Amino acid sequence: MALVALATLGAQAKVRLPHMIGDNMVLQQQTDARLWGWTQPGKMVRVTVSWSKDVVTAKADKQGQWLVKVVTPKASYEPLSITFDDGEPLTIRNVVAGEVWVCAGQSNMEMPVKGFGMCPVEGYNDVVIDAKNHQGVRSVKIPSVMSSKPLNDAQCEWRVCSPRTVGEFSATGYFFARKMHEALDIPIGLIEANKGGTRVESWLTKENLEKYTNDPTDSVEICKRWVDYDYHRSLLWGNGTFNPILNFTVKGILYYQGCSNVGDQGNQYSERMKLLVEQWRSQFALGEIPFYFVQIAPYRYDDDNNATNGALLREQQFKAQSLIPNSSLVCINDLVYPYEFSQIHPTQKQQVGERLAYTALNRDYGFESIMYKSSSFKDMLIKGDAVFIHLQDNYWADAPFEDMQGFEVAGDDKIFYPASAQHFWQPGGAYWDEAIRISSPKVKNPVAVRYCFKNFQTGNVKNAGNLPLFPFRTDNW
């Protein structure tokens, strides 16, 4: 019994770290990075780092928790170490300083480079071969678990990119990190905290759910409501899968989610997206960190390509970026093949991640010449049997010059017909100088235009950055 007591005392004396603070970790560069853990209540923890002579100490509270902040160095590939000492030292090694981004959302963010069953990622073998060139990319996958209470730890470990490990990385996240690594030549860290099938409500706190939604917050009631679809459950996924990362110091958040909220009424989705970002920024306590998110791809919701449930959700996502400060939406309406109308996980993930990277590089890293915005509808003029429209954020180019696909036009009867569209320019400045002219022989007196405003419809209009036009409608029918 004495030996057991002594062993127990020794185990309690040793400082314990959350699993995501460990070997191979990426620290956010040039900031006050938070480090935390547990020891005996009232004990002092001494933290020393290999890049500085400074020593930081903290006293564990009544629950044995402690937290310190350390000033991190400029990004580099130099291996660093950190020692935590509460009487028995613990050292983590091969740490690097770089840029750390969170990969949040549902299955299209969770989808690994090696793909899901029956859902491949395009170019997998080439990615494996190339992985040896991107050992500066590292990731940690937070296990997707539910919890009735917020968890402060998760069973995970940091992975260094290699041909052996890259297949497990989030595909969207990895392609973002790979492009960032190429552009910046510094370590890039990904924290993958996501779960397939989750709704935006899955990540809201109990307080926000009770104040702004009708979702239950008692775990028993939550499970009763979503018996067959546990991935739709509110609160529990945020408690178990996202809460463990909130003390970590990060640069920003990447988010790919929305499919499970298709069918939400009115402005519910955009308002709850705004609420979620406000919540996460408050929880991270790092200020108005960047939030870059992905518009859902075309898909046959309700087994109907021509219905508009998916289009209405995309419209809400487009609205959300105007409600959320320091945010930007990536359009991927062109990144599905015609045969993928029933594939919720499109294979083209490289372009998704790279478009997120272009956004971050332009907005946060000084690459001001990168074209990262998709064009969107600006205004229109109706003249005779044609509609003339202007786009914004097109970088002075709308392509192709002829045979633009994806437009529809309607008259007072509210029936939309496929329309022809091409560049229009009238010498002398008539009809709005240069515009896109849209018309249909079936609509003599047009009143409204739509572009790819269906569950599954892909157009071909792009801007000078080869980025697709956001789907839109000019009506409110």
Summarised one tens digit per residue, pLDDT across range 355-389 is: 999 999 999 999 999 999 999 999 999 999 999 99
Rounded average pLDDT over 302-327 = 97
Pair 209, 121: CB distance under 8 Å: no
> Mean pLDDT across the stretch 454-463?
98
Residues 169-183 have pLDDT tens digits of 999 999 999 999 999
pTM, 2 dp:
0.96
Rounded average pLDDT over 345-352? 98
pLDDT band at 429 (very low <50, low <70, confident <90, very high): low
- Whether 6 has a pLDDT exceeding 50, the answer reads no
pLDDT digits (tens, 9 = 90+) for 100-155: 999 999 999 999 999 999 999 999 999 999 999 999 999 999 999 999 999 999 99
Q: What is the pLDDT of residue 232?
A: 98
In the predicted structure, residue 261 carries a pLDDT above the cut 80: yes
Q: For residue 164, what are the contacts with CB-CB under 8 A and spacing of at least 6?
A: none
Q: Please state, in angstroms and rounded to a whole number, the distance separating the CA atoms of residues 359 and 142.
A: 25
What confidence score (pLDDT) does residue 14 get? 83
Percentage of the chain beyond pLDDT 70 is: 96
What tokens does 102 get? 């969170």
Please check whether residue 70 is in contact with residue 55, taking contact to mean a CB–CB distance below 8 angstroms.
no
Closest Cα partner for 272 from 345, 358, 209?
209
| pLDDT for the residue numbered 13 | 52
- Quote the mean pLDDT of the chain: 95
Report pLDDT digits (tens) over 270-312.
999 999 999 999 999 999 999 999 999 999 999 999 999 999 9
Q: What is the pLDDT of residue 2?
A: 39
Q: Residue 425 has what pLDDT? A: 84
How high is the pLDDT of residue 7?
A: 39
Q: pLDDT tens-digit profile of 195-240?
A: 999 999 999 999 999 999 999 999 999 999 999 999 999 999 999 9
pLDDT at residue 1 is higher than 50: no
Q: Quickly state the pLDDT bin for 433 (edges 50, 70, 90).
A: confident
438-449 average pLDDT score: 98
pLDDT at res. 431: 63
∠ CA 164-167-173, nearest 5°, is 125
CA distance 249 to 31: 8
- The percentage of residues in the chain with a pLDDT greater than 90, rounded to a whole number, is 94
